Structure 1
Amino acid sequence: MAKVTTGTGDTGYTGLLGEQRVPKYDPRPETFGTVDEATSALGLARATTNDPRVKEVIYHVQQELYLLMGELATPPENYEAMGLRITSEHVQSLENIEEELKLEVNIPNKFIIPGDSIGGAALDLARTIIRRSERMAVKLLHDGVIQNGEVVRYLNRLSDLIFVLARYVEVKSSLAQRPQEGE
């Protein structure tokens, strides 16, 4: 059985990937902790849908976010050895999925107030957490704590994709609620 409680964080420090320990309020654990929040919010969204395509997209993104968290938790001296890296291919994949979804849903040119469906609202919540993690990652990049700009690009594109996915879910939800012909 996995040991859940280690006690190593009881003094307010947490380990990065390697030997380094930093305060829990350090920008790195703050950022990967926020990405973890986004992953959980995406899990809520995934649990609310019966659409296999939506489930697949969300699950794929959740897996990639674990890679991203690993990269954020890796100090520079261990970066190459760990091999955890978000690449331009990860970003391109998000862009491709977004473009496919936009072919099936009209994105209105206006502000969207979340809440038209439970699934859409859960995705919108995840999107806002992703945006917060993006702002935090930008600070890490600008401060020289991380060097891979693809992390920021990934989070930026991901928030766009999740916005489109929320609209897709809402359109599918509204179609499912319409009375069928002859009813």
Structure 2
Amino acid sequence: MKIYTKQGDAGQTTLYGGRKVSKSDLQIEAYGTIDELNSNIGFLAAHVDDKSILDLLLKCQQDLFVIGSHLAIDFDNPKKLKLPALPVARIPEFESEIDRMDSALKPLTQFILPSGSKAVAVAHISRTVCRRSERRVVAMSEHFDFDPVIMIYLNRFSDYLFVLARYVAHSQGIEDVCWLPPL
């Protein structure tokens, strides 16, 4: 596969299905932010040692490619495109992992700062990129009809990443850094 085609040099790209759109198009922004999230998850995985967490993060990277493919189609000219199934089963897996990790943590009583260690900070960065992805996908949903499981997945994944950041801090012996409101 050739990396450069020169087809996008004028600021256009092609959706899965053939239609050309501007690279600033809302749809491109949505699945481009999913790609950005995927890269951040790879960066997070490079900072985590727990095998079960690494395994789930790798599954999530696979999921994000599937989600991106569903967002990259030409919704104005839907063809019978063969797309992989959306990872709906991952949502209860996130919930189970959130509950498992949260049970080891002190209850939250106030806002916390996204800091602590490199791994914790990267988990929080990944969480915020996931939230941005969710916002872009929600904006896209106002113009296109697609399976809402994508929005549910991103919402739950960002919840997972928040709890993961706290759990990683806990496993490293780092206390949550609480936000101190100004007096």
Is the TM value for this pair above 0.5?
A: yes
Q: Is the 8 A contact 1:107 1:167 kept in 2?
A: no
Q: Tell me the residue number matched to 2:116.
A: 116
Q: Tell me the residue number matched to 2:99.
A: 99
Q: SS of 1:81's equivalent?
A: coil
* Counterparts of 2:85 and 2:130, CA distance in 1: 18
Q: Identify if the C-alpha distance between structure 1 residues 110 and 11 changes in structure 2 by more than 3 Å, giving closer, same or farther.
A: same
Q: Tell me the residue number matched to 1:148.
A: 147
Q: Tell me the residue number matched to 1:60.
A: 59
Q: SS of 1:82's equivalent?
A: coil
* Counterparts of 2:73 and 2:92, CA distance in 1: 23
Please show how residues 128-147 of structure 1 align to structure 2 within 5 Å: 128-143=128-143, 145-147=144-146
* Counterparts of 1:109 and 1:84, CA distance in 2: 41
**Once superposed, what is the RMSD of the aligned Cα atoms?**
1.8
Q: Tell me the residue number matched to 1:160.
A: 159
* Counterparts of 2:35 and 2:87, CA distance in 1: 19
Q: SS of 1:14's equivalent?
A: strand
Amino acid at match of 1:132: R
* Deviation (angstroms), 1:109: 2.8
Q: Tell me the residue number matched to 1:178.
A: none
Q: SS of 1:39's equivalent?
A: helix
Q: SS of 2:21's equivalent?
A: strand
Which TM-score applies when normalising by structure 2? 0.86
Most deviating of 147-156 and 74-83: 74-83
Amino acid at match of 1:83: L
Q: Is the 8 A contact 1:17 1:78 kept in 2?
A: no
Most deviating of 91-100 and 117-126: 91-100
Post-superposition Cα deviations, 1:113-139, rounded to whole Å, max 9, x if no partner, equal 011011110010011011011111111
Which TM-score applies when normalising by structure 1? 0.86
Q: SS of 1:22's equivalent?
A: strand
* Deviation (angstroms), 1:13: 0.9
Q: SS of 2:81's equivalent?
A: helix
Identity of aligned residues (%): 30
Q: Is the 8 A contact 2:16 2:72 kept in 1?
A: yes
Gaps of 5+ in 1: 176-183
* Deviation (angstroms), 1:89: 2.6
* Deviation (angstroms), 1:87: 5.3
Gaps of 5+ in 2: 175-183
